[in-house]
């Protein structure tokens, strides 16, 4: 019997039936950086179906050989594995199963060619359409897939599914409209809206941590928890994405999707069973309990925004956001945002959730910190001069995946003196082996038809309905009013003030 839990797990893992992955946007950044390396790693782990193929679709004329070269190059650049990926047997065998169709997404003939390629390569199996294309093209491609008869399953084995990348809409109206277009051609069970945070190992572990243990859930409520802080800090700036980011900003880019997903997993009630809708129904309840972020009568928001100015990150001097290539010198796009959320539910009434995310912060780290209430009586107050720090439960989403608990201990010595200590669980040391990348998990789940880790249509809309009024409120404010923070510093005083009003502070990371 194997004693390695990872190997035991692997043996039980289901493998999808015959599948063709059709990637729209085959020459794009996402395909090269994430999708092709994820397929390669799945293949190395023998997780792909025995009958698996890829059809790349884009405007560039490159043919099968060109696409196979692009695949090998993407592995060399982005597959984080030892050796020379791209030249090994796994890569060679996978490359042989890659095909390419070029054309214009506006041209119905392209979809006929895709359909013919599918027939030729895998007429008996399922097809997964991946929209790795600019969001403006989603609706068009979905309509044309429908028109070409590619959205309908001819038999259970010949399933048809679609993966839609983020951003899903830019506000409530556009998200609703896109959902309507999608549902005109695909049933919800065929639709997989990606939020790559849900594929992260630690994020999935939140469910296990909460619902497979008897010890945490009893304290997971307003009686024991003082507040929750969720932080997603990045050191990178806008990079080469100004065209997208100028119209997005941190609230759309990170909060509407990733942070709302994290929040809902922390706040949800226990599902009756670990099924896709069991989990997603309870996440939805949590989302619906969040109170509006904009006060209707005064128009004030519980949201602080800011933009990075020039500064220093990791020893390098970096420009301010307004000086970045492609950014307007008068831009008011926020690169940092902090929010206070109130959930009106039996479990969370009176427990604020604070969220913050930003680019060009001093450290890359994503964590959920759950601060517990202090003990009812400070019985050591007289003997120990140091004040008692409240217990803290920290879920490190990345980069150092794990869970830590902070509690008070007695300092060794003849005096009764207290000090906080940490108890740490680290994925790397506990299990060894490497943790799959989010895109590996999510691609495999979509091939298996399991939507648990994907955003449902109502979640996306509920999230936008919280966020959109904030954008509306901001659009009426003065253009130049956005506060700034120095790149490499922890965000502006306004974010501290948001918590200070409640007598609380952000964690120092
Ligand atoms: C993406 C955002 O969805 O998530 C990026 O568009 C951001 O702006 C990225 O940098 C962060 O993802 P991760 O996995 O690095 O935390």
Cβ(260)–Cβ(458) below 8 Å = no
Catalytic residue ranges? 258
Q: Residue 478's pLDDT is what?
A: 62
Q: How far is CA 339 from CA 189, 432, 467, 503, in A?
A: 33, 36, 11, 15
Cβ(175)–Cβ(138) below 8 Å = no
Mutate to test the pocket of ligand 1, among 254, 308, 359 (most ligand atoms within 8 A of CB): 254
Which ligand 1 atom sits nearest the alpha carbon of residue 166?
3
> Helix (H) and strand (E) counts for the chain?
17, 17
Cβ(366)–Cβ(398) below 8 Å = yes
Q: Residue 1's pLDDT is what?
A: 37
Which ligand 1 atom sits nearest the alpha carbon of residue 232?
16
Per-block mean pLDDT, blocks of 10 residues, the chain (509 long): 44 82 96 96 93 96 95 91 78 96 95 96 93 95 97 94 96 98 97 97 94 95 98 96 94 98 98 94 98 89 95 95 96 97 97 98 97 91 80 95 95 90 92 87 96 98 97 78 93 92 94
Q: Residue 434's pLDDT is what?
A: 79
Mutate to test the pocket of ligand 1, among 234, 240, 260, 438 (most ligand atoms within 8 A of CB): 234
What distance in angstroms lies between residue 54's CA and the mean position of ligand 1's atoms? Answer: 26
What distance in angstroms lies between residue 273's CA and the mean position of ligand 1's atoms? Answer: 30
Q: Are strands 225-233 and 352-358 parallel, antiparallel or unpaired?
A: parallel
Alpha carbons 314 and 329: distance in angstroms, whole number: 25
């Amino acid at each position: 019997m194997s004693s390695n839990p990872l190997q035991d797990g692997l043996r039980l893992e289901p493998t999808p039936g015959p599948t063709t992955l059709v990637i729209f946007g085959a020459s794009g950044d996402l395909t090269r950086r994430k999708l092709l390396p994820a397929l390669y790693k799945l293949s190395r782990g023998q997780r792909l179906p025995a009958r698996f193929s890829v059809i790349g679709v884009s405007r560039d004329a490159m043919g099968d050989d060109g696409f196979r070269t692009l695949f090998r190059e993407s592995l060399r650049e982005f597959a984080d594995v030892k050796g020379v990926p791209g030249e090994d047997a796994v890569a060679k065998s996978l490359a042989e199963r890659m095909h390419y169709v070029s054309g214009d997404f506006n041209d119905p003939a392209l979809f006929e060619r895709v359909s013919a390629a599918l027939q030729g390569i895998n007429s008996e199996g399922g097809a997964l359409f991946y929209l790795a294309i600019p969001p403006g093209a989603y609706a068009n491609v979905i309509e044309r897939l429908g028109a070409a008869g590619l959205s309908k399953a001819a038999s259970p084995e010949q399933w048809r599914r679609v993966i839609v990348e983020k951003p899903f809409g830019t506000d409530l109206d556009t998200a609703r409209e896109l959902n309507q277009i999608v549902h005109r051609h695909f049933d919800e069970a065929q639709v997989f809206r990606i939020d790559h945070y849900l594929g992260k190992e630690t994020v999935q572990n939140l469910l296990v941590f909460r619902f497979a243990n008897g010890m945490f859930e009893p304290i997971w409520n307003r009686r024991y928890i003082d507040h929750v802080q969720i932080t997603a800090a990045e050191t990178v700036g806008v990079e080469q994405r100004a065209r997208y980011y100028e119209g997005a900003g941190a609230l759309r880019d990170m909060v509407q999707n990733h942070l709302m997903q994290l929040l809902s997993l922390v706040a949800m009630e226990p599902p009756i069973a670990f099924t896709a809708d069991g989990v997603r129904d309870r996440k939805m309840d949590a989302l619906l309990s969040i109170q509006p972020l904009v006060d209707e009568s005064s128009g004030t928001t519980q949201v602080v925004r800011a933009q990075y100015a020039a500064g220093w990150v990791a020893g390098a001097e970096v420009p301010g956001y307004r000086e970045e290539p492609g950014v307007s010198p008068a831009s008011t796009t926020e690169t940092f945002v902090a929010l206070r959320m109130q959930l009106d539910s039996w479990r969370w009434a009176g427990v604020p959730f604070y969220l913050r995310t930003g680019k060009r912060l001093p450290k890359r780290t994503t964590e959920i910190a759950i601060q517990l209430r202090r003990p009812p009586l400070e019985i050591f107050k007289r003997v120990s001069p140091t004040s008692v720090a409240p217990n803290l439960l920290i879920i490190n989403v990345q980069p150092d995946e794990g869970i830590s608990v902070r509690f008070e201990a007695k300092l060794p010595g003849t005096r009764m003196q207290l000090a906080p200590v940490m108890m740490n669980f680290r994925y790397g040391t506990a299990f060894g082996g490497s943790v799959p990348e989010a895109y590996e998990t999510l691609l495999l789940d979509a091939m298996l038809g399991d939507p648990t880790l994907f955003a449902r249509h109502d979640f996306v809309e509920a999230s936008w309905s919280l966020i959109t009024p904030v954008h509306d409120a901001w659009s009426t404010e003065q253009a130049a009013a956005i506060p700034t923070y120095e790149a490499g510093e922890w965000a502006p005083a306004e974010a501290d003030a948001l918590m200070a009003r409640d007598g609380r502070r952000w964690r120092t990371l």
